[in-house]
Amino acid sequence: MLLWIGGCSHPVRALVGGNMRIDGDMGVNGDMGVDGDIRMNGTMTTISKTDNTASPLRAVQLNPSSISSSQRIAIVDVDGLLVDRNFSGFGSMGENPVALFREKISYIEADPSIAAVVLRINSPGGGVTASDMLAHQLNQLRTRRGIPVVACLMTTGTGGAYYLATHSDLIVAHPTSVVGGIGVILNNYNMEDTLGQFNIVSLPIKSGTKIDLGSPERMMQRDERDLLQSMATEFHQRFIDQVQQSRGEKLTIVPPASDEEDALEDESSQPAFAVPFDGRVFSGLKAKDMGLVDHTGYLDDAVRLAANLAGMADTPSLVLLRRDNDRAMSEFDVTPNTPMTSLLPIQIPGLDRSSMPTFLYLWQPDPSIVTAGGN
């Protein structure tokens, strides 16, 4: 046998030559005989895909029997850590959450049959910039298409995920959802003493005394801490302003005490909101009482609200935006997109200079979240 391979997308020539001889009788209860030569000479072409280009998004119909087939509601899932970087992990789709969201928004903008959107959010939040990018894309969709958007908070809708939800027309939370987390955090570490135990001394060559501001290799000075704190305060106020502007009169206001009434008559006085903007979280029921969400309910309720806002039937057609290799085919299923953590038993934060810390709109009771996205 002779086998010749010329490479990918080139002919592969196979030649089988020689004698094949089996003597005997062919019968049901006997032998099978072949006497002669078998010779093969032909060309076989193989094509090998050398890139990892993902398939375009497609609309997966969830209820094809729905009577409302001319207009559809797109369920856009926003899950996990919201950072502007590609994820890689075991079984992960390896998607960039910001890029994937943009692709879904672009698909909806180009599909006139989609008359409303339900954001199914299950996320503790993420980067300040990444969250703001998602919110900007959502605002562009509402401006260009003018279609209603209803956010549905699942298990968790905090930090940047709640920031995104405030850019929708209505917010629905499960009674047991965790909502809020209106705050900012920058994870920073001082590894100077730890490195010294291994006789590792940092010798940076720099021009600009603050160029290594926040480096874990040395103690942060007080004025440097003040600089970072001022940025965190600025981002926090941006979050607060968005919540107040979006929720408006829906936010619960604490009535002033009798000795404070004169102070409130001053035009410069601000209303005393019952919502503490200090990063704490609330249950879905408590968030409803405070005005952080409009309704408590479930995903089906969010779909009905979106259908009503769009003037659609009570049982609208629902679609998911999926890739061909996406196994999630239910509105409750989640596309795997989990970042890979270190394979070592101990991961030292700050030493991986390719994954720098960033300011976060993130509720993070789980320490693994801190380093999962390079934060």
254 in Cβ contact with 273 (< 8 Å): yes
Between CA 162 and CA 360 the distance in angstroms is: 13
Average of per-residue pLDDT across 258-275: 59
Residue type, 102: R
Average of per-residue pLDDT across 331-358: 56
- In order of their start, the domains of the chain are 1-20+38-47 (no CATH), 58-187+216-255+275-372 (3.90.226.10)
| Look-up of token digits 């380093």 | 371
pLDDT band of residue 349 (cuts 50, 70, 90) is very low
Q: Which of 60-74, 96-110, 205-219, 335-349 has the highest mean pLDDT?
A: 96-110
Q: Over the stretch 122-131, which tens digit does the pLDDT of each residue have? A: 999 999 999 9
Average of per-residue pLDDT across 94-103: 89
Instruction: Say what the pLDDT of residue 7 is.
Output: 43
Instruction: Say what the pLDDT of residue 85 is.
Output: 82
Between CA 166 and CA 95 the distance in angstroms is: 24
Which DSSP string do the residues of 305-338 spell out, in sequence order? HHHHHTT--SSEEEEEEE-TT----STT-----P
Average of per-residue pLDDT across 251-275: 63
Neighbours of 217 (CB within 10 A): 18
Neighbours of 127 (CB within 10 A): 26
Average of per-residue pLDDT across 98-122: 95
Between CA 157 and CA 179 the distance in angstroms is: 5
Average of per-residue pLDDT across 227-238: 96
Between CA 368 and CA 374 the distance in angstroms is: 10
Residue type, 297: G
Between CA 96 and CA 80 the distance in angstroms is: 11
- In the beta sheet, which residues pair with residue 37? 19
Q: Over the stretch 274-332, which tens digit does the pLDDT of each residue have? A: 788 999 999 999 999 999 999 999 999 999 999 999 998 777 889 999 888 777 677 77
Calculate the alpha carbon distances from 366 to 84, 123, 182, 363 in Å. 20, 13, 17, 9
Between CA 363 and CA 328 the distance in angstroms is: 26
Q: At what angle do helices 97-110 and 128-145 cross, to 10 degrees?
A: 0
Average of per-residue pLDDT across 97-121: 95
250 in Cβ contact with 287 (< 8 Å): no
Instruction: Say what the pLDDT of residue 257 is.
Output: 57
Which residues have C-beta within 8 Å of that of residue 355, sequence separation ≥ 6? 371, 373, 374, 375
Mean of pLDDT over the chain: 79
Which residues have C-beta within 8 Å of that of residue 352, sequence separation ≥ 6? 374
177 in Cβ contact with 156 (< 8 Å): yes
As a whole number of angstroms, the longest Cα–Cα distance in the chain is: 115
Which residues have C-beta within 8 Å of that of residue 154, sequence separation ≥ 6? 120, 121, 122, 174, 177, 299
The b-or-e profile of 156-175 (16+ CB within 10 A means b, else e) is bbbbbbbbbbbbbbbbbbbe
